[in-house]
A and B are shown apart, each in its own frame.
Chain A
Amino acid sequence: MSFAGLVFILIKIVVVFALLMLTVAYLTLLERKVLAHMQVRVGPMFAGPHGILQPIADGIKLFFKEDIVTKQADKFFYFLSPALSIVPVLLIFAVIPFGDKSDIFGLLKEPIDLRITGLRIDILFIFAMSGLATYGVVFGGWSQNNKYALIGGLREAAQLISYEVAFTLSVFGVVLIAGSLQLDKIVAMQKDMWFIVYQPVGFLIFLTAAVAELKRTPFDLPEAESELVAGFHADYSSMKFAMFFMAEYASIVACSCLGTILFLGGWLGPSFLPPFVWYMIKVFILIFVIIWLRGTYPRLRYDQLMKFGWKFLIPLSFVNIFVTAIVILLVR
């Protein structure tokens, strides 16, 4: 690879990383505002007009907080796990496309891919990375030597392993129809019809399993604040806590992007808006749904969660794959 090519990729990485971090920061504000208005409150109002500077204030506060390391903690894994939980999520964004080939409103001479890099096995890579993210939480819960954190970490491990299966299987229907693991090809296949029409059950399984993967209500057992206080990040403070927090919100963005690409036609839409805007609208609709769930539902119990995952979601996704495969066989 030439030197110019390397610089070009570096620029792309920086742009994606900066935009992602900005989105993550403002996602916290969005969540607080949306929840507040659902709950007859107004949310943050003091930092800037309508709390617009709140994420920055939060960031500064977290940065200057004392970084506590408890005596009983296993230092190596204690320091490792925040990084272990955020790096895989960031790696997912290496393969996620944000639009079709574009010359960015004529700024460039020839159109470029709106993604850092493409693989032939995009989807496989994403699932591999989301599987890796489990380690951060499990090590984090274990290394603190704190009973609440340990239970949180164990719950997390069991939950992620169970729902990873349904999460992966739910996408298989789309992969079967598209015949490709490449995200840009999957979007291109949806030119006539979004895959959510062919795969409504697949989409619902995807959304449910994604919410479970994200540890969001009603599947927020690993950090259930009324039972485990904070769960796996009980003893983390300052930037270590912030890294868990950022990982969590970056995963929300990642899952919403993935859902948009796989089921909602990605950046495709009527031409009066640029593709990137369509893409963002769809992503934020999914994010809104995830926040909305938090405002509505109570939390499941551990055994109910397991039962729901293994006895309902996974068999259902198998049936979905089976039916999809038969239909494809008959049509072709």
Chain B
Amino acid sequence: MGENILGRLFRLSFPDCTREALSFLTSYISQDCPAIPGLNANTEQVIVEICQEFVLFQSNRGPPKKLSSVQELNLLDMICTCFNEAPEKSKYRIFNLMFGARCNGSGNLLTKLVSLALSTRCAPVLFCVAIWMQERDSLSTDVKSLTHRLVSDYCLLYPDPSSVFCKLPSVSPLFACNFITSATSYYSFGGADSLPPLSLLQHVSDWVSQDNTVCCESLRQATIHHAYTTPVPGLTGWCVRGPLVCSQLLGKAKAAASTAAINKAGAESMQVQVVSLLACLDKLHLALLQSLLFSACVNLSPGLLSAGDLAHITHTLTVVYPLQGNSHAESKEEETVAIGVALERLAQILQVASGTRTYISDRGKIKEMESIARHKLPHNRLLSMVLRQQLQGNSYSAPS
């Protein structure tokens, strides 16, 4: 019968074969993968083959079938419908069958599927993609390329904020959460080469400030899907390094503008963009603190942020921080202010996070931070105050 189904599907043409295949896969997976009568051993292989042949169109038997754009759209639509209609428990298993195992070439189809799911608000697909992102490392190539594609499609292509993106957290909070995590690792904000696009930063800061739960979504899934990452360390990195990186960029732009008059307009537009970035970071930082506060009053397992994350961020600061010897006095002054802001934000996030149950504390890491701050960074009263308190050991007392 397994042969029968394959044979039957081969006799059908697109799109009927795909529709049949999807429906077969759905019912097969929903019935907890029963043994297919008449098929002795390789049930799983047959299933995979059906998926390869009729959904992903990566034939093992002949040359891959090339679908036209319209056919491809039709295919994506059928996949979305399939996810909408499949039983809750089966959705991710179907997804995993299609995109999970290996990702040779199906990445392109996945990106297109995500785009369609975003615009049609197909929450099941986005949810599955979010879990998929979570199960892979956010730094993995597949996830990175997906993130990159989405950012360029929705943040860079059009200057106006995308309505699809604006409402993302309400369509799929988990997807938004994991997308942020991935975006913060793709654009680390560690220097001029890793600046997040302004519109991305705007979207992210809007999401986080409008909904303080977005950052916790992946942590919520931690009990079901063991592997998870959270956007908080990445966002903390943005908020902390952001001001310093921005001030350095400004300094450089000014220096460039004063030496080479040709680039004056470019310097000015850079200045405008940097000011906007900084304003977004102000907002994002507060939203991050509020998200941490929120996580203090919900019952989640620890892991939103760890002392290790913060120590790491402190370390990255020292990489960014060394002042350029040739800076103007004015730039120097600005950089001093910026490093102050950076350290204060670090201190604030540490302080607020340490009062939450989701924070993973580590006295060693705090000591490490303290040491870095003392030796490699300028003195900051707030950071000293917070670190002192952390080291005094009353960091575990939950706020009233």
A binds B: no
